[in-house]
Amino acid sequence: MHASATKRLQTLSLMTLKVKRLDPAAKMPIRTTIGASCFDVHALTDGTIPPKSRALVRTGLAVSVEHGFEVQVRSRSGLALKQGVFVLNSPGTVDSDYRGEVGIILMNLGDDVFTYKAGDRIAQLGVYPVIMCDAQLVETLDDTARSSGGFGSTGR
């Protein structure tokens, strides 16, 4: 990213995603454009995922955000469209109090083996607010027009 774009982005930032390298080979997450809402995250090592299989891909990174926020792990649209590879539990959640390695669960729904190399962009990380609330056990819930109508109950 150009230096002036980086400076503008820092001016707009309300907080910082703190990143710790757990492995010296780990690459920092990057925003590829000033308007990118997420950071691209990279594979730590080489690997393959057979068709119709899943794998945990290491990043070699740990992250920290303020209480009341979470880091979400999201698929990269190009991998999903071109190779059928996506984040299986999308969006994955990294809680504000987790300090372990961020791992990416990738699923290969493609027909070919998916091969990735150390340093390849494999997913995206975004920072999002979380509404913290208590859970309360009740005997009844507010009535609505939909009520308990489930999947497909509101139309097509």
CATH assignment of the domain containing 17: 2.70.40.10
Domain count across the chain: 1
Residue 74 lies in a domain: yes
Average pLDDT for residues 29-50, to the nearest whole number?
Answer: 96
Structural domain includes residue 115:
yes
Q: Is 151 helix (H, G, I), strand (E, B) or coil?
A: coil
Give the pairing type, strands 121-129 and 39-42.
Answer: antiparallel
On whether the CB atoms of residues 108 and 88 are closer than 8 A, the answer is: no
Pair of tokens at residue 103: 């791992």
Residue 153 lies in a domain: no
* Structural domain containing residue 100: 3-129
CA distance 33 to 73: 18
Angle at 19 between CA 18 and CA 24, to 5 degrees: 155
Q: 6-15, 31-40, 70-79, 104-113: which has the minimum mean pLDDT?
A: 6-15
* Residue 48 counted as domain residue: yes
pLDDT in tens, 122-150: 999 999 999 999 999 999 999 988 887 77
17 in a structural domain:
yes
Residue 93 lies in a domain: yes
